[in-house]
Amino acid sequence: MAVILSGKAVSAAEREIIRQKTAALVERGVTPCLAVIIVGCDPASQVYVRNKHKACEEVGFRSLVIEMSEQTTTEALLSKISELAADDGVDGILVQLPLPRHIDENAVISAIPPEKDVDAFTLPNVGAIMTGAPRFLPCTPAGIMKILEYGGISVDGKECVVVGRSNIVGKPMAMLLLAKNGTVTVCHSHTGNLAEVTGRADILVVAIGKPRFITADMVKPGAVVIDVGINRGEDGKLCGDVDFESVSQVASAITPVPGGVGPMTITSLLSNTLASAERRAEKLF
Ligand code: NDP
């Protein structure tokens, strides 16, 4: 039976560190501040935004939640972003995705100043990740690297396979593993021999959005398996992209769903916002 890599525990430890560093900053007169803009009333987005707000308050940040109507125009949203961009008291700006279809998502993301882009979505920040000198780390992949670090799992020289090539998870994940000297393969829906490739992995990261897709026969005995997926199974319960029951019998370590990667994503967001506030403090003093 595999060791369970608890993102929940890592997240609690990291958030305590963030809370202490925040208290020290506040004493110097700088309160980290994250502004989250939500457009429309998508229920899942509302839950995510509420969770971010709560997490900010728990570590002592100022949290601004800006709710805009479904009918908001691209121009109105850009104007709100430029207002927050000009506000020296705001360290991070995040626009909750997805946006309503009529809004130009690329224009909106590009309007966020890279130094306040705590999600690391803007082109300059993505480029910085590619070149190995990130200003902010991509939230979900950074959370996964922390889970590996806390689990004492070295990436150096390991065969790493990432299943999924999204801009939010798969691609930046590959970059962070590469930066730690992993030998990285990225798979996607056109990969012909998926089970053969995943079966070579010492470290397997799965982010595809398909419930229990990766089964034990696709995993090398002793592999470390990181499950990014968040799905509702047929039984209505939350489950990952990995069939936990069978894979945990062959893997040496595995993240559960829930309680694995999920809690780490917001923790990375807090960490990026704190880093931005620390840069603000450096300029002030
Ligand atoms: P996307 O839908 O953007 O990307 C899915 C990727 O999986 C694509 O690259 C796609 O390939 C690939 N894929 C789909 N089917 C297969 C298949 N049969 N074989 C191989 N590859 C396949 O998803 P995200 O990256 O945004 O999210 C993935 C999962 O992670 C979701 O369940 C999401 O909810 C979860 N998630 C969890 C987070 C957390 O905090 N824990 C944060 C972000 C996401 P192709 O490019 O060819 O279409």
Confidence at residue 233, expressed as pLDDT on a 0 to 100 scale:
85
d(CA 197, CA 163): 10
Tally of residues, the chain: 285
Cα 170 to middle of ligand 1, angstroms: 7
Structure-block tokens of residue 100: 């309503």
Residue to probe by mutation, ligand 1, list 166, 197, 257, most atoms within 8 Å of CB: 166
Are 177 and 143 in contact by the 8 Å Cβ rule? The answer is no
10-residue averages of pLDDT along the chain (285 residues):
97 98 97 98 95 98 98 98 98 97 98 98 97 96 98 98 98 98 98 98 98 98 98 92 98 98 97 98 88
- Ligand 1 interacting residues, C-beta cut-off 6 A: 140, 163-166, 168-170, 187-191, 194, 207-210, 228-231, 261-262, 265
From 117, 119, 227, 243, active-site residue: 119
Residue 180's pLDDT is what? 98
Residues near 207 by Cβ (< 8 Å), separated by ≥ 6? 140, 162, 163, 164, 166, 169, 170, 173, 228, 229, 241
pTM beyond cutoff 0.75: yes
Q: How far apart are CA 150 and CA 23, in angstroms?
A: 24
Phi, psi (deg, nearest 5) at residue 272: -65, -40
* Residue of the CA atom closest to atom 39 of ligand 1: 262
Q: Nearest C-alpha to atom 42 of ligand 1 is from which residue?
A: 140
Verify whether residue 96 is a known catalytic residue.
Answer: yes
**52 given a catalytic annotation:** yes
Centroid of ligand 1 to alpha carbon of 167 (angstroms):
10
**From CA 73, how far away is CA 111, in angstroms rounded?**
14
A 10 A CB-CB count for 180 gives 17
Compute how many other C-beta atoms are within 10 angstroms of the C-beta atom of residue 118. Answer: 28
Contact 93, 64 (CB under 8 A): no
In sequence order, what E strands does the chain have?
A: 3-4, 33-39, 62-68, 92-95, 159-163, 183-187, 203-206, 224-227, 231-232, 238-239, 253-254
Q: Whose CA is nearest to atom 48 of ligand 1?
A: 189
Sorted by where each starts, the structural domains of the chain and their CATH numbers stand as 29-114 (3.40.50.10860), 139-262 (3.40.50.720)
Using most ligand atoms within 8 A of CB, pick from 185, 186, 228 the residue to mutate for ligand 1: 228
